[in-house]
Amino acid sequence: MSFKKILIPTDGSEYTKVAIQKGLTLAEQIGAEVTALYVMDQTPFVNMPMDSTTVTIHSILKDEGKQALDYVKKLGEEKGVKVDARIEDGFPVRNILDHSKNFDLIVMGTLGRSGVSKLLMGSVAEKVVRHADCPVMVVRAHEVDE
């Protein structure tokens, strides 16, 4: 199997940066194209009325998404990798899984939670690994320190 199209989901947090670097390095080495995806998580807004506060939060999330994607695009340019950047509204797991059928590989970071934290919070990466239509490479956050 060849990896010509790589999806790199990001939420803009520090723990995704090492996954972004690894995904872009892989893309550089094998000549793949990258799509960076930022999903503006709608989960907190499901039961909220649409008012000025919700619109303000949405605007803040969009700005964060743009910054997160600009980071991926900048690193991609440095490595000579074509990066298509996408911001979407939705639910991170669902959006990533919907895209998985159109990619050869997903590269994503994880906090590496365990125990009660994992039970309560769940793991986007774990759900994507279990249900994606393509292979998933998960890069743990502790690698940032190595």
Kindly list the domain boundaries of the chain, sorted by start residue: 5-145
Q: Please check whether residue 114 is in contact with residue 126, taking contact to mean a CB–CB distance below 8 angstroms.
A: no
Please name the amino acid found at residue 26.
L
| Tokens of residue 134, six digits | 């393509």
Per-residue pLDDT of the chain (146 residues; tens, 9 = 90+): 689 999 999 988 887 898 999 999 999 999 999 999 999 887 766 666 666 777 787 788 899 999 999 999 999 999 999 999 999 999 999 999 999 999 999 999 886 555 554 554 458 888 999 999 999 999 877 644 44
Question: Measured in whole angstroms, how far is the alpha carbon of residue 101 from the centre of its chain?
Answer: 16
Residue 115's pLDDT is 55
* pTM beyond 0.75, yes or no: yes
Q: Which amino acid is at 109?
A: G
Q: What is the pLDDT of residue 46?
A: 65
Residue 41 is predicted with a pLDDT of 83
According to DSSP, the β-strands at 105-110 and 83-90 are unpaired
Q: Determine the topology of domain 5-145 in CATH.
A: Rossmann fold (3.40.50)
pLDDT at 106: 97
